[in-house]
Amino acid sequence: MYGVTLVERLAEAGHDVALVVSPDGVTVLREETGVDWSGKAPAVQRALDRRFGGRVTWWEPNNFYSPIASGSHLNDGMIIAPCSMKTAAAVAHGLSASLIERAADVTLKERRRLVVLPRETPLSAIHLENLLTLSRAGAHVVAAMPAFYHHPKSIDDLVGFVVGRVLDHLGVVHDLVPRWGADRPKRRTRER
């Protein structure tokens, strides 16, 4: 739900999205959301064009000829959502066996924004070390931990909170959740 909602929000906001979904991600996507982005690339691209009006480009996870595999391709950043611990480990240690890992490696080396959204729990010491390595390398680790101060009424509200935090780290304006204190009167201070 996080990945689909991010793609929807980015496309709605007028951003072009290069989308790569791992084979396991395609399976999880279908199981958790009912969205089926499996099949041959041209068929998937046609479905994305219908849904997102040409804003989303589908890239096969082993296509290293994709523009996002090169540092010369300019972009505003990268989101890995959700980010498995396997992918976190690969990116943290500079492995580039898939397009996701290569694009993340390029994002870090070019000092662009990389946001990883782990949703694993509990986290082992190995997971924490890999996430710390990513953070030290410049990645923003935004764990899928929804808050409740905005009084969520649905799963979409919980997902929206996390997606909003990811978008914040990319500098994308959104209205997914009210800002803390925005609906509260300002405290008066005494003049002296």
Mean pLDDT of 136-164: 95
- Per-residue model confidence as pLDDT tens digits over 6-51: 999 999 999 999 999 999 999 999 999 999 888 889 999 999 999 9
pLDDT at 184: 58
Handedness of CA 37, 43, 48, 54 (dihedral sign): positive
- Per-residue model confidence as pLDDT tens digits over 111-132: 999 999 999 999 999 999 999 9
pTM: 0.91
Q: What is the DSSP string of the chain?
A: -HHHHHHHHHHHTT--EEEE--HHHHHHHHHHH-----S-HHHHHHHHHHHHTT-EEEE-TT-TTSGGGSTTS--S-EEEEEE-HHHHHHHHTT--SSHHHHHHHHHHHTT--EEEEE--SSPPHHHHHHHHHHHHTT-EE--S----TT---SHHHHHHHHHHHHHHHHT----SSPPTTTTSPPPP----
pLDDT at 189: 53
Average pLDDT, the chain: 93
pLDDT at 116: 98
pLDDT at 84: 96
Q: Provide the percentage of residues in the chain whose pLDDT is more than 70.
A: 95
Neighbours of 102 (CB within 10 A): 23
Mean pLDDT of 64-92: 97
pLDDT of 191 above 60 = no
Domains and CATH numbers, the chain: 2-170 (3.40.50.1950)
pLDDT at 4: 94
